[in-house]
Every structure is written in structure tokens, then in C-alpha cells.
Amino acid sequence: MGFPGYFLIVMEFIQWSKDNGVPVGPGRGSGAGSLVAYALKITDLDPLEFDLLFERFLNPERVSMPDFDVDFCMEKRDQVIEHVADMYGRDAVSQIITFGTMAAKAVIRDVGRVLGHPYGFVDRISKLIPPDPG
């Protein structure tokens, strides 16, 4: 499918990060199921041990290119971006960020769970919030 260069580039900047003291997450998303990614130390999760689905990563019917979800320490992430830009060219590097939102009721339920309150108590409080608190 023509991905050797892609795997090698990702391997290079993850290894650079580890060699330079930048904490790197274990790997997640569709790439976590790749045995090649595990062998190249792109991910720290053995897909055979955890019975992960490889097909999700390199499925010929997939519309978009497969991806690795890589998490870097926020305090040192800029060093990784700088390295990749220096190594591969600034015009070949971009950043993508996603923002998640939570509904008011879900926030109340999650906070209640974290604080150890009984589900029934938290559920009663969350039901006091109108459907559209806006």
C-alpha cells in the first residue's frame, strides 16, 4: 500500500523524542493495531497481546490515509515540532488540534463519579439541569 516512508518518518520523530527526554504516549487510535508500528517502537502496545484490530489501520476501503495518534508532553511538544520542521522542512509540517465539548448533564455526572458520590444522587442533580441550559 506504499507506506514504508510514512512508518519510518513517524518512527524517527518518536525515537528522537524519547532520546531527547520528551515523554511520548503509548500510541492509540487505528495505528495501535499495527504489528509493524509495534516492531518499529512507534507504539508500546503489542497488538497480539491485546488482540487489537489491524484491519482498522490499513483497510483498502478506508477513505482517508491511516494515522497514528501520537501524544507528546505539552511542555516539550514544541521541541518535537521544531525537530520535525528542521528535519523534513517547514512546508511539510502542520499541526491539527481537536476540541471536545461536554454537555452540562454529562459534566455533572462525571464530576459526581470522580468525587465518589452515589449514582442516584448525581443523577437527581443532573436532571435539575434544563435540556438546553444555554
Could you give phi then psi for residue 28, rounded to 5 degrees?
Answer: -155, 180
Walk me through the domains of the chain, giving residue ranges and CATH numbers.
Answer: 4-92 (no CATH), 99-134 (1.10.10.1600)
Mean confidence (pLDDT) of the chain: 88
Task: Give pLDDT tens digits for 108-118.
Answer: 999 999 999 99
Q: Which residues of the chain have pLDDT under 70?
A: 1, 56, 133-134
37 and 7 in contact (C-beta within 8 Å)? Answer: yes
**Per-residue pLDDT, 82:** 97
Spatial separation of the C-alpha atoms in residues 102 and 50, rounded to whole Å: 30
**Per-residue pLDDT, 108:** 92
CA 109 from chain centre, in angstroms, equals: 24
- DSSP result, 67-108: --B--B-TTTHHHHHHHHHHHH-GGG-----------HHHHH
Task: Give pLDDT tens digits for 68-83.
Answer: 888 999 999 999 999 9
